[in-house]
Amino acid sequence: MRGRSEMPLVNLRPEDELLLCCARTKLHGEKAERMKTLLQTEMDWTYLYNLGSRHGLAPLLYQNLKSASPEKVPEPVMDHLRNHFLVVAGHNVLRTQELLKLLHLFESHNVFAVPYKGPVLAASIYGDVGLRQFCDLDILVQKENVSKAKDLLVSNGYQWFSELNTAQQETYLQSGSGCFRFCREDGRVIVEVDQDITTLREFPLWLDLESFWERLVWIPFEGRKVPAFSAEDLLLILCVHGAKHRWEQLNWVCDLAELIRVHQNLDWEGLLERAKTLGCERILFLGLFLAHDLLGALLPPDVLKRVKSDAGVGTLATHVCEQIFHDGNGSSNGAFGLSSFYLRVSERLRDRTAYCLRLAFTPTVDDWKRLPLPRALGFFYYVVHPMLLTAKYGWKPLSNLFNG
C-alpha cells in the first residue's frame, strides 16, 4: 500500500481546490467526483482563470474541465480557456522547433548540451508538449563549453541579456555564475544556458553535477534521441529548483507529481541516500510533501513516513501553501524573506553559514554596474559589496539574517 493524499495545511477556496483537482494529466476516481461536486457550487471564474494562468496550469485546467463537465462552465469562460490553450500550444510548438535547431547547432560544434524542463519535460512526463506552460528553453552545458555556447547563440541571432561592458562580461563568464539568458532577435524565444542548477551565491546548496552527468540517459523526443537526467536525478533537480524559487508556482509541484506517476519504479532508496549525501534531504522532503498533500502523489509508505517525520518540512510546506493561495503571488517579504526561507530549508550548518558569508561579501552584477572598475581593481568589489548592501538594506535585516 502507498500513502493516501491528504488535504493541504491551509484553508482553500473552492476555486483553489478545483484547480488542484485539475492539476494533473489523469483525472479519475475521488478527484473526478470532487471536481463534479465543486462545480455544483458558485465559482469566481475570473479568480480561477487568473490563478490557473499565474501558476502555469491553464492548459490542464482547460483540458480537464472540457473532458469532465464542460456544461458546468460558462461558455465565455470556456472560450477564454480554449484560446489560452491554443496560444500556449502554438508557443510551445515554436519553442520545441527552436530547441531542436539549437541542439543540432551545439552538436555540430561539439558542445554537449542537455535540455531539461521546457518541452522535453512536457513531452516525457505530460505526454503532450502543449499541456505544460513554459516561457524559455533551459539547456545545461559543462563549464568549459559555456563561452563557446554563448558565441554560437550570438552568431545565430541571439542577444545576451547583459548590461555589462565587454570586460565585465568576460569576468562574469569566468566567475562561475550558473545562468546566462539570451533572447532571439525577434523576441519570440528566450534561451537560458546553465552550467549549474544553482550557484553558490544565490542558494545555500550547490549540486555537484559530475555524477549526474555520468548517469545521463537518452530518451526519445520529436523523432530523435536527446540526453536527459535519470528519473531520480531529475526529481531531485526539480525539488532543488522549486526550493530555489520558494515553490511560488503550482506547476512545479505538478511536475513532481507527474514524474512520480510516470516513473512508478523509482529507486527511492538510492534517491534518499543521494539527497542525504548532498545535503538536500529536507529540500527533497519538502517537494515530496507538497506533491503528496496538494496533488496526491503516491509515495511508498516508508518514504512518506520519513517525509512526515521532519516537523520542519511540515512547517515549510504550510508556509509555501499560504504564500501560493493567500499572498497571491508567493513572493512577499523581498530578498531577505527569500534568504530566510533558504536558511530554513537548508539542513547543514556549514551550508547556512557559508551562504550568509557569501551574501555579505560576494560581489554581484549590480555592484559592477553601479561602480565600474578596471579589471586590475576587481578585488575592491569585495570591500565595496558589504558597504553597498548595508547602505541599501540597513544593518538590522542583515544581522537578523545571520542570527536567524
Q: Does pTM top 0.95 for this prediction?
A: no
What is the model's pLDDT at position 340?
Answer: 87
338 and 349, same domain (yes or no): no
Same domain, 210 and 316: yes
Could you tell me if residue 271 is inside a domain? yes
**pLDDT for position 176:** 53
CA distances from 25 to 55, 249, 301, 392 (A): 16, 17, 24, 46
Give dist(CA 365, CA 345) in Å, integer: 26
Q: Are residues 51 and 124 in the same domain?
A: yes
Query: Do 375 and 247 lie in a common domain?
Result: no
* 121, 255 contact by CB (below 8 A): yes
Residue 9 resides in a domain:
no
Residue 39, pLDDT score: 93
Residues 117 and 266 in one domain: yes
**Does a structural domain hold residue 3?**
no
Do 71 and 96 reside in the same domain of the chain? Answer: yes
At residue 199, the pLDDT reads 67
Question: For the stretch 200-225, what's the b/e string if a residue is b when 16 or more beta carbons lie within 10 angstroms of its beta carbon?
Answer: bbbbbbbbebeebeeeeeeeebeeee
| Domain coverage including residue 389 | 345-403
Nearest to 2 by CA among 259, 260, 234: 260
CATH number at residue 191: 3.30.460.40
Last residue of a domain, which of 300, 328, 344?
A: 344
Q: Quick check: is 124 in a domain?
A: yes
Alpha carbon distance 400, 404 (integer Å): 6
Cα–Cα distance, 39 to 52 (Å, whole number): 16
Residues 389 and 317 in one domain: no
Reading the chain (404 residues) residue by residue, the pLDDT tens digits are 344 445 556 789 999 999 999 999 998 888 899 999 999 999 999 999 999 999 999 999 999 999 988 888 999 999 999 999 999 999 999 999 999 999 999 999 999 999 999 999 999 999 999 999 998 999 999 888 988 999 999 999 999 876 555 555 566 555 555 578 899 999 999 999 988 887 656 788 888 788 899 999 999 999 999 999 999 999 999 999 999 999 999 999 999 999 999 999 999 999 999 999 999 999 999 999 999 999 999 999 999 999 999 889 999 999 999 989 876 554 555 666 888 899 999 999 998 888 888 777 777 767 666 777 666 666 666 667 666 666 665 555 555 555 55
Q: Enter the C-alpha cell of residue 324.
A: 501560493
Same domain, 49 and 135: yes
